[in-house]
Every structure is written in C-alpha cells, then in structure tokens.
C-alpha cells in the first residue's frame, strides 16, 4: 500500500471552513434564498418577511458577510445586502468536486 502525504495550507483551510460553516446552516440558506429572489434587499425587509428577530437576522448576515457570501452597501440608514455569486459558485464547485471523488 502506498502512503500519501496530505498537506493543507492553513489559511486556505480556515477560509474554506468558514465558508462551509456559513453555508451549512438552514436559516442562513433560507435567508440566502430570499435575497437571491430579490437581488438586493435591506435587513428590515429580510427579518420582517421571514418573521425573524432582528438580532438573529443580523447575526446570520454577519456570518455570511464575513465568509464573503454577501456584499453589504449602506444607503442612508439602511444596509442593503446582495449575494456575492463568485464565492457561492466556488463553494458549489468545491462541494461538487468533493462529492464526485467520494
């Protein structure tokens, strides 16, 4: 049997795990689906329409922003969110590639 040395670049591994963690939560997926259906939308519309608490919504949005899944733009006193599709596509490709090899 042949031994294969497995190495990881720690920074890339950390970023990847943060991204997968952000995408693995059912409520965050629901929020992403809602944003995807609206293009750009503010936080008030998200939590009122999805019947969520504002603080919980903000926590989930923060996690998605820190994983570069969402982009945020301030317009007056409102923050508008939209999906950063290149990040989502990269994650989808990585998962697809992983599943094909399993």
In a domain, 17, yes or no: yes
- Count of structural domains, the chain: 1
Per the listing, tokens 């989930």 go with 60
C-alpha–C-alpha distance, residues 73 and 77, integer Å? 10
In a domain, 4, yes or no: no
| pLDDT mean over 82-89 | 96
Quote the pLDDT of residue 17.
86
In a domain, 28, yes or no: yes
Range of the domain at 15: 11-101
Q: What letter does residue 2 receive in the DSSP assignment?
A: -
C-alpha–C-alpha distance, residues 1 and 47, integer Å? 55
In a domain, 39, yes or no: yes
In a domain, 15, yes or no: yes
What mean pLDDT value characterizes the chain?
Answer: 91
Contact 83, 63 (CB under 8 A): no
Q: What is the pLDDT of residues 52-75, one digit of tens each?
A: 999 999 999 999 999 999 999 999
Quote the pLDDT of residue 86.
96
Report the length, in residues, of the chain.
102
Q: What is the CATH number of the domain that holds 24?
A: 1.10.10.10
SS3 state at 80: strand
Q: What is the pLDDT of residues 5-53, one digit of tens each?
A: 767 788 887 888 899 999 999 999 999 999 999 999 999 999 999 999 9
């Amino acid at each position: 049997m042949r031994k294969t040395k497995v190495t990881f670049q720690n920074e890339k591994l950390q970023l990847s795990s943060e991204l997968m963690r952000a995408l693995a939560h059912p409520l965050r997926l629901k929020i992403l689906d809602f944003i995807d259906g609206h293009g750009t939308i503010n936080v008030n519309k998200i939590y009122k329409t999805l019947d969520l608490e504002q603080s919980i919504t903000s926590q989930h949005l923060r996690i998605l922003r820190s994983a570069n899944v969402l982009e945020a733009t301030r317009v007056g006193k409102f923050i508008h969110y939209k999906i950063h599709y290149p990040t989502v596509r990269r994650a989808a490709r990585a998962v697809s590639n992983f599943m094909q090899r399993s």
